[in-house]
Amino acid sequence: MKNEIPTRFIEKLQNHFGSVIADKTLSALSLKSSISVRVNPMKPTAQFDDRQKVPWSKNGYLLPERPTFALDPLFHAGSYYVQDSSSMILEAILQKIQPAREGLYLDVCAAPGGKSTILLDYLDDEGFLIANEVDPKRNAILRENILKWGRLNAGVTSLPARKFDELECAFDLILVDAPCSGEGMFRKDSFAVSQWSENLVEQCALTQKSILAELLPTLKEGGVLIYSTCTMNPEENELQVQKLLDSGTVEPIEIDLSEFSDYLIEANVDNSVIGYYLLPGSSTGEGLFISTLKKTTVSAHEDRRKSRYSTPFQSADVEFQSAFPELPQNLVYWNLKGELHAVVQHQYIEALNLPFKMLGLPYYQMKGENVIPLHGFAMASNGLRAIELSEENSLQFLRKETISLPPNLPKGWSLVSYQNIHLGWVKIIDQRSNNYYPSWLRLRI
């Protein structure tokens, strides 16, 4: 049964936006929530080409209903990410302001990882993204999604926000997609409705304020701070930005999003536009607030690179190199408990002493003199040859069942793919093959 929208929330919404917009939003809350996907440009699929495009996203599509994503092998291969269309506005903002790609980016509240995948698409192979999530369970989901997206210029940490200042980090871009009271998710998540209270809004506003205050010292002069929430009240949005502006360390970045004005509602502080709302009923997706600011003062950590630590990287073992000679030469490797993770653009993090949970992607491990390729290698490298599977065989592979392969294939390691997108590794031994899909990812339906 659906929970009732709290009366006090309705009053606050009317006070904030006026009755026309509030009524439109409230009637949309009784409708079905929207469903949308963003395609991974590194692993394109044409299956959504006939769907309505998300106006502000190059690879975003609106779907009329929710398919069983789990039964699509390409979902598991990281060909697309199921993401609310409102969140995709981040893509348009990055395209408009064009922050330098040669830089260190932080997504501090990153799980499950949707906005991190947008930042990675923007960075392409340049720069480096630290995707951080403090909650251990959510961090595991973040790692899974980063793994599937297949980029090597990313690292995952699990730190409280204040740690980045203590560890003397200096970032070129910080995204704070803050924990919030979740008003924007009311029609997706009935728990958000049942747990809502003015007290929760207050608590969230305090948390947001401290996350922002803890991170501001780590943003370089000229660096970009993007603040977003999935909520619609001024306490968690305009008033947070107001406090940042009052600190005298940031200024708003003007962004011309007029081509999307039918879908956006401007957010103001002191009669200046400081951000945008995307609201159910007015936009295509769920509720979101987003504001983009520029740091105007220097970070104390900007010039202290030389005196710091060095994250240990190594080159590939010769056995791995000779097993996969087609591998690009610009990779370095980071050893996590015997698993070698391939990394690019490591210069951005070399001087930092960050405790990474995942750095680049797991590529291989050595068992004596034998090389075992790992799942990150399959997810990242779409140029390598693979055995193409049918849909049925792909699902068997993802369930970690034994799959039947064509006869007389050469013995040894091989990638398997569906519609030319890699799914994982098999090892061919005489007339059978062993399935190396990771157990923890195994499809259970």
Active-site residues, by number, are 230
State how beta strands 35-39 and 60-63 pair.
antiparallel
147 binds ligand SAM, rule: CB under 6 A: no
CA-based end-to-end distance of the chain: 26
The reply to whether 250 sits near ligand SAM by the rule CB under 6 A is no
Mention every residue, 6+ apart, whose C-beta is less than 8 A from residue 365: 338, 339, 340, 371, 372, 374
**Shortest spacing between CB 318 and ligand SAM, in angstroms:** 40
The SS3 assignment for 125 reads: coil
Q: Which of 435, 376, 373 is nearest to 405 (CA)?
A: 435
Q: Out of 36, 45, 86, 87, name the contact with ligand SAM by CB under 6 A.
A: 87
Quick check: 202 binds ligand SAM (CB under 6 A)? no
Q: Read off the tokens for 50.
A: 């006939």
From the list 132-140, 231-239, 283-291, 350-358, the region that binds ligand SAM by CB under 6 A is: 132-140
342 within 8 A of 329, measured Cβ to Cβ: no
**Interface with ligand SAM, residue 135, by CB under 6 A:** yes
**Residue 285 binds ligand SAM (CB under 6 A):** no
119, 134, 215, 386: residue in contact with ligand SAM (rule CB under 6 A): 134
Angle between helices 198-215 and 238-246 (to 10 degrees): 30
Determine which residue in the list 14, 207, 282, 297 makes contact with ligand SAM, applying CB under 6 A: 207
CB of 108 vs ligand SAM, minimal distance in Å: 6
- The residue from 29, 42, 77, 109 that contacts ligand SAM (CB under 6 A) is 109
Helix (H, G, I), strand (E, B) or coil at 437: coil
115 near ligand SAM, judged by CB under 6 A: yes
121 sits near ligand SAM (criterion: CB under 6 A): no
User: Alpha helix (H) ranges present in 261-361?
Assistant: 318-323
Q: Does 111 bind ligand SAM (CB under 6 A)?
A: yes
26 vs 230, beta carbon nearer ligand SAM? 230
How crowded is residue 434: how many other Cβ atoms within 10 Å of its Cβ?
11
Residue among 103, 127, 179, 285 that touches ligand SAM (CB under 6 A): 179
Please report whether residue 280 would count as binding ligand SAM according to CB under 6 A. Answer: no
Do residues 327 and 250 make contact, with C-beta atoms less than 8 angstroms apart? no
Neighbours of 219 (CB within 10 A): 28
In the complex, what is the shortest distance from the CB of residue 333 to ligand SAM, in angstroms, rounded to a whole number? Answer: 28
Closer Cβ to ligand SAM, 177 or 339, answer by number: 177
Residue 331 near ligand SAM by CB under 6 A: no
Token digits of residue 322? 């000779």
- Judged on CB neighbours under 10 Å (0-12, 13-18, 19+), 439 is exposed
* Using rule CB under 6 A, residue 162 touches ligand SAM: no
Q: Which residues bind ligand SAM (CB under 6 A)?
A: 87, 109-115, 133-135, 138, 160-161, 177, 179, 207, 211, 230
